[in-house]
Structure 1
Amino acid sequence: MPAMEDQVRAAWVEVLGHDDFDDDTPFLEAGGHSLKATQVLMRLRRRYGVRLPNRLFFDHPTVRELAVAVERIAATSPRL
């Protein structure tokens, strides 16, 4: 699933304005907060055309975990 991890990481970098974190760093530790988490999810929603609940981000706070969750939703959900 590296491609999805790359997409999630790119969204984080765009929203956070830096890439000083690894794929296992929690978003809040990387400098994120709830508004920025929403911005990341909005980018991923647009890219994949699926509903991603805000809670998803807090249940899966790292790039690696979020990529798995988004991939699962994108594979099983109808497109918006």
Structure 2
Amino acid sequence: MALEDVLRLVHVLGSTVLFGTGIGIAFFMAMAVRTRDPRIIAHVAGIVVVADTIFTATAVMLQPLTGYGLARVVGWPLNEGWILLSL
């Protein structure tokens, strides 16, 4: 597997993780808040913090790195407006 393919795979997986965990976490927090039970809300919030740390933070760190790597490997100019904005 070429470097470009690996970078693209990790980049797409990272964006999928960001979107998926964001939606999932929002859903579970909304459901917990609807119970109006402080114990349930606190418990779910604790799980959300763990999930954010493991999945979201990792993906957030990998996205700009893999995006930068892809731009370099493909040969896109790094001073392109949308690339600068995303990095």
TM over 0.5: no
Q: Point out the structure with max Rg over C-alpha.
A: 2
Which has more helix, going by share of residues? 2
